[in-house]
């Protein structure tokens, strides 16, 4: 969940020393490509995590009395939250890319 916050605020690790040397339009295209790549990764994690959740054997945690399935559910849920953030970033990047073309 911490990464979702870092992703939303754009404070995650980036290669700034290379990125800042590119022209602004190229920076926008590279950022959009990275966001699309991140979105595809999060979709893969959502799909894999959900598949794992569904196919787990129904065993119970003895002390808590709940299914072990609930222990793996945060993985696809966190990926879903991050995918939503990245989708928002993609939409903003597309708008910026096309509005800067008009200038």
What does the pLDDT read at residue 37? 94
**pLDDT(103) > 60:** no
Alpha-carbon dihedral 93, 87, 11, 44, rounded to 10 degrees: -130
Residue 63 lies in a domain: yes
**pLDDT(92) > 80:** yes
Residue 3 lies in a domain: no
What does the pLDDT read at residue 95? 92
Number of domains in the chain: 1
Residue 65 lies in a domain: yes
H or E segment at 50?
Answer: helix 24-55
Residue-wise pLDDT for 12-61, tens only, equals 566 666 777 888 888 889 889 989 999 999 999 999 999 998 888 778 87
pTM of the model: 0.74
Domain span at residue 77? 24-102
């Amino acid at each position: 969940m911490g990464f979702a916050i870092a992703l939303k605020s754009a404070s995650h690790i980036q290669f700034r020393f290379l990125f800042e040397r590119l022209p602004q339009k190229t920076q926008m295209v590279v950022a959009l490509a990275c966001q699309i790549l991140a979105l595809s990764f999060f979709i893969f994690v959502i799909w894999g995590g959900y598949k794992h959740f569904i196919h787990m054997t129904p065993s119970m945690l003895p002390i808590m009395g709940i299914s072990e399935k609930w222990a793996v559910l945060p993985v696809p849920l966190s990926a879903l939250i991050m995918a939503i953030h990245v989708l928002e970033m993609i939409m903003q990047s597309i708008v910026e890319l096309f509005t800067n073309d008009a200038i």
